[in-house]
């Protein structure tokens, strides 16, 4: 029996907590052309004199002047890039690089008794833009185009390193590889096949670090230390027995140690059950210094983008729905502190301020009524985001109430001014005033 209109039960609306006042640290608001879409990336550039931010639905990048808050230019990426996962970065000479995960064209093929697929990525490319004029300067594309999954700009901004999935006909697993593009010569170089992304570069662009796999890409051999940019192997760091690589690798502040996420899988060929371990290695000798095993199964740590000034490695994870921020001493990886962030739907970002004295985390309150990953969201019904300021000891210095949809923050070099992304807006922030729970000066 099908229900009639009289049988439909209309549930009352779930009441939403009243909006709280925003933190007084939030100042001017820069309006993005797409006012109903969440901005998900922001960056200062040109000696911190300009701000650029992008939205998620239409890939419109907007540039403002820091001095006047006025719009300078707007870049609307090509039509085929809309509603796709796009990433971007600003490089020197006011150039912008954008790329996106090209939709694959897949066809089934047969070769005798074997079944396979033919995969093509016709639109996959990197676009180079002039941020002063908003005009497209160049399209960087290898023939045939592969799917570019991620990229890295060298600190000296002379090279582009890409992680790609190959196009072509495959009867087994689709291979991935890492390539390098030199801006001065417009030349592509395919890096040794054992190199696995992510690739990490030293601050002086003289050395590269990457996980090393066998030719079949089914076993991790270690961490390779290479001379950059010719990628001549200097030393290979062997991993402890039974470990394979995770997805994160970083250098200590003094670049004497490599810190990496490693994984173990208790059951062979069961890839949804794992245990993560953080390990540190000495660059000069390749010796394993210490390991720290995460207490929860199937939990991968999310590293902050840099360490604190005292060398503390910060990562966040969860135990059930509760999120925690953890500080580890480097290189011994002993736990210094653990701070409860709260019951959040997710932690969107954790950024260390330029001076390395504190870290800002942004979280969404845990509320299953709101699908924050959907493209069509009534932001008036979404709970407000929250920011916690945590110092080198793990102490929460201040809790800030943010607009709904606030997701990430970028700092100017002075560590006082910052830009916060929101819905259709970038909010300017000021951290010059003392924090609410900061120690009183004597």
Under 8 Å between Cβ of 396 and 339 = yes
Answer whether 305's CB lies under 8 Å from 256's CB. Answer: no
Does residue 237 have a cis peptide bond before it, meaning omega lies within 30 degrees of 0? no
Q: Count Cβ neighbours within 10 Å for each residue of 323-353 and write b for 16 or more, e otherwise.
A: bbbbbbbbbebeebbebebbebbebbbbbbb
Full strand arrangement of the beta sheet holding 147-153: 147-153, 159-165, 176-182, 187-190
Higher pLDDT, 318 or 148: 148
What average pLDDT does this structure show over 121-133? 84
8 Å CB contact between 370 and 430: no
Rounded to whole angstroms, the Cα distance separating 344 from 407 reads: 13
**276 touches 299 (CB < 8 A):** yes
What pLDDT band is residue 146 in, cutting at 50, 70 and 90? confident
Which of 116, 213, 221, 244 shows the shortest CA–CA distance to 173?
116
> What gap in Å lies between CA 87 and CA 295, rounded to an integer?
33
Quick check: 301 and 291 in contact, CB under 8 A?
Answer: no
Look up tokens 């999310």; give the residue: 302
CA distance 32 to 395: 35
Q: pLDDT band at residue 363, thresholds of 50, 70 and 90? A: confident
Chain mean pLDDT for the chain: 84
Dist. CA 308–CA 291, nearest whole Å: 19
Q: Give the residue from 34, 38, 42, 30 showing the smallest Cα distance to 372.
A: 38
Task: Identify the CA nearest to 42 among candidates 418, 345, 300.
Answer: 418
Which of 18-27, 105-114, 374-383 has the highest mean predicted lDDT (pLDDT)? 18-27
Torsion of CA 425, 431, 436, 439, to 10 degrees: 150
195-201 and 187-190 beta bridge pairing: unpaired
Sign of CA dihedral 239, 241, 245, 246: negative
Q: Which of these, 36, 27, 23, lies nearest to 422 by C-alpha position?
A: 36
Cβ atoms of 40 and 58 within 8 Å: the answer is no
Average pLDDT over residues 199-210: 95
Token look-up 């959907």 returns: 374
pLDDT confidence tier of residue 373, bands split at 50, 70 and 90: very low
Beta bridge partners of 420: 409, 427
* Integer CA distances (angstroms), 24 to 20, 21, 27, 415, in order: 12, 8, 7, 17
| This prediction's pTM | 0.87
Show the DSSP H helices in 172-306 as ranges: none
Please list the residues that pair with 338 across neighbouring strands. Answer: 326
CA 387, CA 403: separation in Å to the nearest integer? 10
Which tokens hold the place of 199? 């690739």
pLDDT digits (tens, 9 = 90+) for 335-358: 999 998 877 767 888 899 999 999
Q: How far is CA 197 from the centre of its chain?
A: 14
Q: Is the dihedral of CA 198, 201, 206, 208 positive or negative?
A: negative
- Rounded average pLDDT over 112-123: 76
pLDDT on residue 240? 83
Q: Return all residues near 307 (Cβ < 8 A) that are at least 6 apart.
A: 250, 252, 253, 313, 314, 330, 352, 356
Distance of CA 118 to the CA centre of its chain: 30
Least confident of 100-109, 180-189, 204-213, 433-442: 100-109
CA–centroid distance for 57 within its chain: 18
Helix (H) and strand (E) counts in the chain: 0, 34
Q: What is the DSSP letter of 381?
A: G
Total number of residues shown for the chain = 442
The pair of three-digit structure tokens given for residue 168, joined into one six-digit string: 């072509």
Alpha helices in 214-337 (DSSP H): none
Give the tens place of pLDDT for each residue, 54-81: 887 767 899 999 999 999 999 888 766 6
Res. 11: pLDDT tops 60: no
Measured in whole angstroms, the distance separating CA 212 from the mean position of its chain's CA atoms is 22
**What are the structure tokens assigned to 214, written together?**
């066998």
């Amino acid at each position: 029996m099908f229900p009639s209109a009289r049988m439909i039960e209309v549930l009352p609306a779930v009441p939403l907590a009243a909006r709280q006042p925003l933190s007084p640290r939030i100042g001017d608001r820069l309006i993005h052309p797409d006012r109903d879409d969440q901005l998900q990336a922001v960056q200062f550039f040109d000696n911190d004199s300009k701000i650029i931010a992008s939205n998620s639905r239409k890939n419109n990048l907007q540039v403002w002047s820091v001095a006047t808050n006025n719009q300078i230019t707007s870049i609307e990426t090509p039509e085929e890039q809309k509603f796709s996962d796009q990433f971007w970065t600003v490089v020197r000479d006011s150039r912008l690089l954008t790329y996106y995960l090209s939709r694959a064209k897949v066809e089934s093929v047969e070769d005798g008794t074997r079944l396979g697929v033919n995969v093509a990525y016709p639109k996959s490319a990197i676009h180079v833009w002039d941020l002063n004029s908003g005009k497209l300067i160049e399209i960087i594309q290898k023939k045939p185009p592969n799917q570019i999954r991620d990229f890295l700009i060298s600190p000296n901004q002379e090279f582009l390193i890409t992680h790609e999935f190959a196009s072509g006909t495959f009867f087994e697993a689709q291979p991935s590889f890492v390539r390098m593009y030199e801006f001065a010569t417009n030349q592509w170089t395919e890096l040794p096949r054992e190199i696995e992304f992510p690739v990490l570069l030293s601050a002086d662009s003289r050395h590269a670090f990457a996980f090393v796999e066998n030719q079949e890409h089914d076993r991790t051999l270690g961490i390779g230390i290479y001379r950059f940019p010719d990628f001549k192997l200097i030393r290979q760091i062997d991993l402890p027995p039974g470990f394979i690589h995770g997805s994160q690798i970083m250098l200590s502040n003094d670049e004497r140690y490599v810190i990496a996420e490693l994984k173990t899988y208790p059951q062979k060929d069961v890839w949804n059950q794992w245990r993560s371990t953080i390990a540190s290695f000495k660059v000069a000798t390749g010796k394993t210094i210490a390991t720290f095993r995460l207490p929860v199964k199937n939990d991968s740590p999310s590293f902050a983008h840099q360490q604190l000034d005292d060398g503390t490695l910060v990562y966040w994870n969860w135990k059930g729905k509760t999120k925690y921020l953890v500080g580890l001493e480097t290189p011994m990886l002993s736990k210094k502190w653990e701070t409860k962030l709260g019951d959040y739907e997710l932690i969107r970002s954790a950024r260390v301020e330029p001076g390395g004295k504190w870290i800002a985390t942004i979280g969404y309150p845990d509320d299953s009524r709101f699908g924050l990953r959907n493209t069509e969201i009534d932001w008036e019904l979404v709970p407000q985001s929250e920011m916690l300021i945590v110092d080198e000891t793990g102490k929460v210095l201040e809790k800030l109430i943010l607009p709904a949809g606030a997701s990430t923050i970028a700092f100017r070099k002075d560590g006082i001014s910052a830009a916060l992304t929101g819905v259709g807006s970038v909010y300017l922030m000021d951290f010059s005033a003392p924090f609410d729970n900061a120690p009183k000066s004597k």
